[in-house]
Amino acid sequence: MATIRINMTGKNLEITEALRSYVEKKAAKLEKYLNDNKNYSAEVMLRTERGIHIAEVTMNLSGVLLRGEGKTGDMYTSIDNAVDRIERQFNKYRSKLGRRAQGPKLAEVQASPQEGPDEAAPRIVRTKRFALKPMDVEEAVMQMELLGHDFFVFRDVDSGDVSVVYKRRDGNYGLIESEY
């Protein structure tokens, strides 16, 4: 049976034994989907901001990252919402794997006659190639803003690795650095 190792942290909130056991109980609910003997990890951040209880759960399933967040007035409900999102993402991922193993290739997928145009499976409709110019993060952000994009892929001038800068919902920027 698979197990999920949980690393739990709190911000502006004390993690009580009741909260810890509740999160562990919810994680055990997810273990039933994992039918191998591997060990998986979950990062759980519980915090309060202006009276709102926020639960962020990030799970690493052998390289596949699933993330769920819940924001409510009650921490237990927030945990439920975050875990429910993870569960939906996992089911979606698992069904995609099943379709990939059995069904047609992504480029061959078309809407069936009973499906409307909005119900067709997503497909790749455009491929773009470009040279990865070495630059620093500040130049990459400037390029992203000049292009009017929400993200920008570049080669970091210091490390030589491929990185991505992106615009966050809060108006700030994020940086994704590749790891090998």
56 - beta bridge partners? 45, 69
Within 8 A by CB and 6+ apart from 47, the residues are: 10, 11, 12, 13, 53, 54, 56
Whole-angstrom distance, CA of residue 93 vs CA of residue 73: 30
Residue 134: CB atoms within 10 A of its CB come to 12
- Would you place residue 112 in the very low, low, confident or very high pLDDT band (cuts 50, 70, 90)? very low
Tell me, what's the pLDDT at 162?
Answer: 92
pLDDT of residue 111 exceeding 70, the answer is no
Taking alpha carbons only, the member of 98, 151, 159, 168 closest to residue 134 is 159
Tell me, what's the pLDDT at 74?
Answer: 92
Q: Give 162-169's long-range contacts (Cβ < 8 A, gap of 24+).
A: 162/132, 163/137, 165/137, 165/140, 165/141
Could you read off the pLDDT of 126-141 as tens digits, one per residue? 888 877 889 999 999 9
Tell me, what's the pLDDT at 100?
Answer: 59
Taking alpha carbons only, the member of 67, 20, 158, 22 closest to residue 177 is 158
Strand duo 173-177 + 162-167: pairing = antiparallel
The model carries a pTM of 0.55
Whole-angstrom distance, CA of residue 142 vs CA of residue 164: 13
**Is residue 54 exposed (0-12), middle (13-18) or buried (19+ Cβ within 10 Å)?**
buried
Domains of the chain (ranges; CATH) run 3-102 (3.30.160.100), 128-177 (3.30.505.50)
pLDDT of residue 156 exceeding 60, the answer is yes
Q: What share of the chain in percent tops pLDDT 70?
A: 81
Tell me, what's the pLDDT at 97?
Answer: 65
